[in-house]
Structure 1
Amino acid sequence: MFETLSALFFAHVLADYVFQTAKMVQTKDRFGSMALHTITVYLCAVVALGSIAWQIAVLAGLHLAIDALKVLWVKTRDDDGIKPYLADQVAHFITIAAIAAVAPTLWADGIWTKDLAQGGLLDISAWAPKMMLLTAGAIYTTRAGGFAVGKLMTPFAAGAPTESLPKGGMMIGILERGLIFLMFLAGQPAGIGFLIAAKSVLRFDAASKNEKAEYVIIGTLASFSWAIAIAIFTLAINNGLNDAPLLEIMAAKD
């Protein structure tokens, strides 16, 4: 089951955060953009699993339905903030987990677990699930986290400190979330405390100004919280791959 879950998580991240362009997001209320994204979801899952099982088509259809409901929410409520974003992602993860639970052998039955002599293509089952999981976790921590924090902070944009570099704040967020993810993988989550201290010193000038302090604090805590949550989620699945207790925070095993 965890191999299938890892592959589906990887496919979701690729479809939503790598192959989905800004233009596709902006025009998602159009049939063409929605159809192209749905096809991308299907193809990413097919390649990740090495299978064309009917459950993948069901997953793509559910992805389409969830995205359509999000578009409806945004248009009817005039709200493209953090709430529809999180609701959309939670719904996607529920469907991914459901497919993995109902069809746990999708990965085992695919072409990536058999060599040519066995009717497959290339046996990469020894390392591919973990590689897909860690890659997906890293992208979801950094890139998806950037969108989440950005949508959360949009209503408070008036209090944003002036950036000396174009998109400097965004780059800092990506780097800090990436470092937190790596610390968890290395089994050193205590290092996050030093990261918080370092950022506090570096951003002291902005945080010391009353009108900027709350913005900096909220953004930092949101970014750190996202990274910690996704790192723990990724480690839980990794532990499942290793037949270890799911909620045991530890370094990734080889």
Structure 2
Amino acid sequence: MPETLAALLLAHVLADFVFQSGWMVAMKRRWQGLASHGAAVLATAIAATGCLDWSLLWLSALHVAIDALKARTRGGLRPFLLDQAAHLATLVALAHWQPTLWESGLWAGITALPGLMALIAGAVVATRAGGFAVGFLMGPFAARLLPEVTAESLPGAGRVIGLLERGLIFALVLLGQAQGVGLLIAAKSILRFGAVKDDRALSEYVIIGTLASFGWALVAAYATLAALAALPPLGILPVSP
């Protein structure tokens, strides 16, 4: 079952955070957007498991139904987390219901592949999904500080910084160098100090965003380590401290 769940999880994060276009998101309240996203969910599930099984059609249909319900909400962090929790529940349920999906697929003979899938899925969750989560969290604060947040800032720089810092944290934890996260926090604090030291509201905004971003990446990294422990080894040893 762990192998099946790893494949389904990779398929989900690819469909939701890599292959889901802006047009799909904008059209979620119309059948065209839902149908196209549902097709992407089905295609990634088939590709990841390496098999054609009718249960994957049910998975795609449930995914579309959950997204249709979410499209009726106002958006924000809570709906995002509930949406992802519901998707995760369907993946776990399907893995319990059809635990041999992986064994009956084309890739069953590649022992290390489920671990690699879990690793890739964790990286996407840490970086891309984390960007959406932190963005939803910081949205209300950014609306109040919009002139200050955007003043003298490179377009899209904050998003890139967030992706890089979460990616680095994920890599550090996976390589057994979690103590390096402290150095990353110190470095970011030093670089940000001059810009926010005289503005309490802006400094609070930066602190909240930084802690949320770092916290998300740490949770994703340690969850990935737990998943890797339940799967056949990748053969990649962590770097010794």
Structure 1 length as normaliser, TM-score? Answer: 0.87
Aligned partners of 1:206 and 1:216 also within 8 Å: no
1:232 CA displacement: 1.3
Aligned partners of 1:207 and 1:217 also within 8 Å: no
Residue 126 of structure 1 aligns to a residue whose secondary structure is: coil
Deviations 1:165-210 (A, max 9, x none): 1111111100000001001110121211111111111111233121
Residue in structure 2 matching 1:190, options 172, 179, 199: 179
Deviations 1:96-122 (A, max 9, x none): 111112221111111112xxxxxxxxx
Structure 2 length as normaliser, TM-score? Answer: 0.91
1:132 CA displacement: 1.4
1:234 CA displacement: 1.1
Residue 108 of structure 1 aligns to a residue whose secondary structure is: coil
1:163 CA displacement: 4.8
CA distance in 1, matches of 2:123, 2:103: 24
Aligned partners of 1:163 and 1:169 also within 8 Å: no
Residue number in structure 1 paired with 2:23: 23
Which residue type is aligned with residue 25 of structure 1?
A: V
Aligned identity (percent) is 51
Deviations 1:20-48 (A, max 9, x none): 10111011101011011111101110110
Tell me which of the two structures has the higher relative contact order, counting C-alpha pairs closer than 8 angstroms and 6 or more residues apart: 2
Indicate the larger mover: 154-163 or 86-95: 154-163
CA distance in 2, matches of 1:192, 1:104: 37
Which residue type is aligned with residue 84 of structure 1?
A: P
1:64 CA displacement: 1.1
Q: Are 2:224 and 1:234 equivalent residues in the alignment?
A: yes
Which residue type is aligned with residue 30 of structure 2?
A: R
Residue number in structure 2 paired with 1:143: 128
Structure 1: which 5+ runs fail to align? Answer: 114-122, 244-249
Q: Are 2:116 and 1:131 equivalent residues in the alignment?
A: yes
- Say what the alpha-carbon RMSD is for the aligned residues: 1.6
Aligned partners of 2:80 and 2:133 also within 8 Å: yes
Residue number in structure 1 paired with 2:202: 212
Structure 2: which 5+ runs fail to align? Answer: none
Residue in structure 1 matching 2:101, options 103, 106, 114: 106
Matches of residues 1-254 of structure 1 in structure 2 within 5 Å?
1-72=1-72, 74=73, 79-113=74-108, 123=109, 125-157=110-142, 158-159=144-145, 161=149, 162-208=151-197, 209-242=199-232, 251=238
